[in-house]
């Protein structure tokens, strides 16, 4: 169904269609529409099984996402600019723990001076954080890439977090026609997330993100590297599958 929406809303619609278990976010210009819409979807019953966490900072938002993803939840959040920089410490933890968190980022310049307009320096600064990055050219791609981000990130061959980025204001606040798939189509493309590498089981407790000696650290980093290389194949597969839908 065709809708005329802003880029922020297109991304939020995609996140709603993905049926996340947890959404943790802190508002920041120009991505604020995303958490507003997600909280609205939860409040009005469109996402009855989703928990929305209105946290006190972007650092807390990503920390909450890590905690939720570490027990097997499908998780997403949103931010921009200084918000992504405040998340920076936790970005490495998310990727190091192989948690397929999906982040929507409205690309915005970094201070100083304060600048709310488009610049990709925020996400480029995180290029070595172990996150897959997708860049959308328009609002349709914001929706499409968000949906595909979940599928790529959650693939057992990948299990890495992913962010979808679009231009601040140029896309985030511009209304464009967007072809929105129906829920049945999305459910077929993106089934429920059922991880086997993380879980919450009091009868079989696990330790996640423990201390690692240099040998262990190097091995796990190498496994991340292999997963990122494998992501190239998975992205190609997912894009081709999405194209057929």
Confirm if 145 and 134 have CB atoms less than 8 A apart: yes
Examine residue 201 and state whether it is found in any structural domain, yes or no: no
Tell me if 135 is assigned to some domain. Answer: yes
Name the E strands within 102-205: 102-107, 132-135, 162-167, 176-179
Return phi, psi of residue 62, to 5°: -70, -35
Residue 67: closest CA among 212, 198, 202, 227? 198
The whole-number pLDDT of residue 208 equals 86
Residue whose entry in the numeric block shows the structure tokens 């997403």 = 76
At 207 the pLDDT is 86
Phi, psi of 147 (to 5 degrees): -60, -45
Identify whether 219 is part of a domain. no
Beta strand 2-5 with 176-179 is: antiparallel
Please report the sign of the dihedral spanned by the C-alpha atoms of residue 240, residue 241, residue 244, residue 245. Answer: negative
Task: Give me the average pLDDT of each 10-residue run along the chain (245 residues).
Answer: 98 99 98 98 98 98 98 98 98 98 99 95 97 99 99 98 98 98 98 92 87 94 97 98 91
State the pTM of this model. 0.96
Residue 52's pLDDT is what?
A: 98
The answer to whether residue 218 sits within a structural domain is no
Residue 22 is part of a domain; what is its CATH number? 3.40.50.970
Would you say residue 159 lies in a domain? Answer: yes
Q: What is the pLDDT of residue 166?
A: 98
- Residue 242 domain flag: no
pLDDT score recorded for residue 200? 84
Domain annotation covers residue 71: yes
Domain residues for the domain of 90 are: 2-185
What total of structural domains would you count in the chain?
1
Could you give the 3-state DSSP secondary structure of residue 186?
A: helix
| Residue 191 belongs to a domain | no
pLDDT score recorded for residue 245 = 76
């Amino acid at each position: 169904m065709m809708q005329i929406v802003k880029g922020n809303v297109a991304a939020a619609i995609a996140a709603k269609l993905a049926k996340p278990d947890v959404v943790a976010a802190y508002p920041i210009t120009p991505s604020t529409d995303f958490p507003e819409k997600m909280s609205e979807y939860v409040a009005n019953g469109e996402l009855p099984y989703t928990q929305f966490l209105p946290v006190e900072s972007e650092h807390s938002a990503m920390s909450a996402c890590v905690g939720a993803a570490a027990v097997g939840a499908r998780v997403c959040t949103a931010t921009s600019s200084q918000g992504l920089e405040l998340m920076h410490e936790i970005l490495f933890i998310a990727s190091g723990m192989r948690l397929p968190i999906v982040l929507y980022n409205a690309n915005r310049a970094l201070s100083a001076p304060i600048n709310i307009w488009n610049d990709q320096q925020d996400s480029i600064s995180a290029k070595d954080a172990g996150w897959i990055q997708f860049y959308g050219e328009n609002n349709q791609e914001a929706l499409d890439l968000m949906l595909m981000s979940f599928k790529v990130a959650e693939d057992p061959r990948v299990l890495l977090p992913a962010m979808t980025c679009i231009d601040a204001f140029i896309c985030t606040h511009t209304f464009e026609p967007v072809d929105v798939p129906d829920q049945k189509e999305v459910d077929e493309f993106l089934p429920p997330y059922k991880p086997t590498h993380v879980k919450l089981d009091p009868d079989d407790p696990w330790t996640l993100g423990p201390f690692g000696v240099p040998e262990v650290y190097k091995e796990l980093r190498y496994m991340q590297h292999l997963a990122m290389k494998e992501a190239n194949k998975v992205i190609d597969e997912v894009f081709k599958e999405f194209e057929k839908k």
